[in-house]
């Protein structure tokens, strides 16, 4: 695994790779590497002759500076974890490399708006699609890999590819889950001991709820379930909804739907989604 930080070095390497007609698999990360990221890289390795991974904490997708500053930064440990995978190139750009003319954020995608995370984190997905578009234009990969934990984000990126006419396959990969059945997340690493106990209780309640939903003969009242979460000290919920996988519209038909959640354990935001079929 070669590590580079300079944009010109990346351009030179990519020029050589493309001359040799090697397929390029791209995995974009913001660091704090966990098994979910590693699974994306393994998938990229299995289907491409050249694999490029990035670590870049993108400032334009954060709603406030405090959240950006507090995002877990674990570069030394990240590099150690990544070295064991034996992929080709790790790119660690600076902010000025990605935004040479200063921070920008463009609204390219108009679908899937004012629902789920877009409703509660205005501008977040504009930052995501802006930086992904920049990386796509720089790298021009054949394939790029994204986890389904951020399901709405994957929808936005698929739309971005259509709108910008990128000749890139977006490969959606199933969430890697912990022993509690919850998707692995960089933010979950910030949970302290008491918060982790709440997280475990939450996971247990969600598991039971999904079992009930899958029985299909039980009428589930999500509002009652949301109220019940206050008993385990979860007092702020952004959303707790069942939506169609294809169009993200609210759904009563669980055969093609997922349960989408975003809530807080103290100040730590937990987001996840669960297949209901």
CA 115, chain centre distance (Å): 17
What are the percentages of helix, strand and coil residues in the chain, rounded to 5? 45, 20, 35
Catalytic pick among 37, 124, 166, 179 = 37
Contacts of 61 (CB under 8 A, 6+ apart): 124, 125, 126, 127, 128, 131
In angstroms, rounded to a whole number, what is the distance separating the alpha carbons of residues 81 and 147? 18
Q: Do the beta carbons of residue 243 and residue 257 sit within 8 Å?
A: yes
270 φ, ψ to 5°?
A: -110, 120
Q: How many residues does the chain have?
A: 277
For β-strands 236-244 and 257-265, DSSP reports them as antiparallel
Q: Which residues pair with 265 in a beta bridge?
A: 268
Q: Which residue has the tokens 């950006």?
A: 68
Using CA atoms, how far residue 246 sits from 108, 147, 231, in Å, is 20, 16, 33
Report the number of secondary-structure helices (H) and strands (E) in the chain. 10, 9
Encoded tokens for 90: 């790790």
Burial of residue 167, with CB atoms counted within 10 A of its CB: 0-12 exposed, 13-18 middle, 19 or more buried: exposed
Encoded tokens for 176: 């890697």
In angstroms, rounded to a whole number, what is the distance separating the alpha carbons of residues 95 and 91? 12
Question: For this structure, is 37 an active site residue?
Answer: yes
User: Catalytic residue positions?
Assistant: 37
């Amino acid at each position: 695994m070669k590590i580079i930080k300079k944009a010109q070095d990346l351009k030179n390497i990519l020029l050589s790779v493309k001359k040799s007609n090697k397929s390029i698999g791209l995995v974009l990360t913001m660091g704090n590497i966990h098994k979910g990221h590693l699974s994306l890289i393994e998938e990229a390795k299995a289907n491409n002759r050249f694999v490029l991974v990035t670590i870049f904490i993108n400032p334009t997708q954060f709603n406030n500076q405090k959240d950006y500053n507090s995002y877990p930064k674990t570069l030394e440990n990240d590099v150690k974890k990544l070295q064991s995978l034996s992929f080709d190139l790790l790119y660690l750009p600076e902010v000025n490399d990605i935004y040479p003319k200063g921070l920008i954020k463009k609204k390219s995608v108009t679908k899937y708006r004012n629902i789920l995370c877009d409703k509660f984190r205005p501008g977040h997905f504009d930052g995501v699609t802006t930086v992904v578009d920049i990386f796509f234009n720089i790298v021009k990969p054949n394939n790029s890999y994204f986890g389904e934990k951020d399901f709405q984000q994957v929808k936005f990126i698929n739309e971005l590819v259509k709108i910008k006419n990128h000749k890139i396959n977006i490969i959606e990969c199933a969430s890697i889950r912990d022993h509690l059945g919850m998707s692995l997340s960089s933010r979950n690493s910030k949970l302290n001991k008491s918060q982790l106990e709440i997280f475990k209780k939450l996971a247990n309640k969600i598991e039971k709820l999904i079992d009930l939903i899958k029985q299909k003969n039980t009428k589930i009242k999500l509002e009652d379930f949301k109220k019940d979460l206050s008993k385990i000290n979860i007092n702020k919920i952004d959303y707790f909804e069942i939506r169609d996988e294809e169009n993200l519209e609210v759904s009563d038909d669980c055969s093609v739907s997922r349960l989408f959640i975003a809530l807080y354990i103290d100040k730590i935001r937990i987001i996840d989604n669960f297949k209901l079929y």
